[in-house]
């Protein structure tokens, strides 16, 4: 199972990916999580990436592409992977195709989790993330329902940054829907429903 997840920030890609990982044991490769870990660890990449992330802008392609190449080479990703938050633009998508071809691998499908922008703004404003395990919850979760850890609001989930992230999505990332449709591997689910219902559709769309 080699999958790319598409959808606006806050569409529920990470949540659906976590379910697929738990049920099918594939590697979850979230470039947002990898970049946040780099920022937290104070690495050279983290220092370079932070200013773009805080502004809701895309981190430069070369930084993200190297990160993904390294991750795809790890053993757990050889069995299959779910890319979450990558590719974010056409350059990244074309590079991904050519890197996978070098590894004699290819994508099975691109899964779009489709949610209207107005719903996204509401969701992102109330999104809270667990500092310890990365669980995604809401402002109603005082502590993480999964591990009891501290819930916090990501800097880029604050109102000033949300609109910019959506604009970046519309301009740079949404053209990938047509890119993958053109390759005949696009499938889509309505993401504006309860998580379990979306997941049932995800499995059906992926033929699982």
Q: Show which residues are catalytic.
A: 13, 88, 127, 154, 165
Using the rule CB under 6 A, is 35 a contact of ligand AMP?
yes
Using the rule CB under 6 A, is 191 a contact of ligand AMP?
no
Min CB(65)–ligand AMP separation in Å: 8
Q: Are 18 and 82 in contact (CB under 8 A)?
A: no
Using the rule CB under 6 A, is 9 a contact of ligand AMP?
yes
Which of residues 5, 8, 11, 56 is near ligand AMP by CB under 6 A?
56
Place of tokens 């890609």: 13
Place of tokens 């916090």: 152
Q: Six-digit token pair at 137?
A: 């919850």
Q: Are 70 and 124 in contact (CB under 8 A)?
A: no
According to DSSP, the β-strands at 136-138 and 127-130 are: antiparallel
Min CB(207)–ligand AMP separation in Å: 26
Which of residues 27, 64, 110, 124 is near ligand AMP by CB under 6 A?
64
Which of residues 81, 86, 135, 199 is near ligand AMP by CB under 6 A?
86
Which of residues 71, 88, 127, 128 is near ligand AMP by CB under 6 A?
88
DSSP 101-153: HHTT---SEEEEEE--HHHHHHHHHHEEEETTT--EEETT-SB-TTT--BEE-
Which of residues 27, 127, 130, 156 is near ligand AMP by CB under 6 A?
156
Q: What's the distance, Cα to Cα, between the start and end of the chain in Å?
A: 10
Query: Which span sits near ligand AMP by CB under 6 A: 71-79, 84-92, 93-101, 102-110?
Result: 84-92
Residue 82: C-alpha distances to residues 57, 144, 157 (Å): 23, 24, 23
Min CB(39)–ligand AMP separation in Å: 9
Residues of the shown chain interacting with ligand AMP in the complex, contacts defined by CB under 6 A: 9, 31-32, 35, 52-53, 56-59, 64, 85-86, 88, 92, 156, 165
């Amino acid at each position: 199972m080699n999958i790319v997840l598409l959808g606006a920030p806050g569409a529920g890609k990470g949540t659906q990916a976590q379910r697929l990982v738990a049920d099918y044991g594939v590697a979850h490769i979230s470039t947002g999580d990898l970049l946040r870990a780099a920022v937290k660890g104070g690495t050279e990449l983290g220092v370079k990436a932070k200013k773009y992330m805080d502004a809701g802008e895309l981190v430069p392609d070369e930084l993200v592409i190297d990160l993904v190449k390294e991750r795809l080479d790890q053993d757990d990703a050889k069995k299959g992977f779910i890319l979450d938050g990558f590719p974010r633009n056409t350059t990244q998508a074309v590079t991904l195709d050519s890197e996978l071809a070098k590894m004699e691998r290819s994508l099975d499908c691109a899964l779009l989790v489709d949610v209207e922008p107005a719903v996204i703004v509401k969701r992102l404003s109330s999104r809270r993330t667990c500092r310890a395990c990365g669980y995604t919850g809401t402002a109603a979760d005082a502590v993480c329902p999964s591990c009891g850890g501290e819930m916090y609001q990501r800097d880029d989930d604050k109102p000033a940054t949300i609109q910019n992230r959506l604009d970046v999505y519309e301009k740079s990332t949404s053209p990938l829907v047509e890119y993958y449709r053109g390759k005949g591997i696009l499938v889509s689910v309505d993401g504006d429903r309860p998580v379990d219902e979306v997941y049932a559709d995800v499995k059906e769309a992926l033929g699982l």
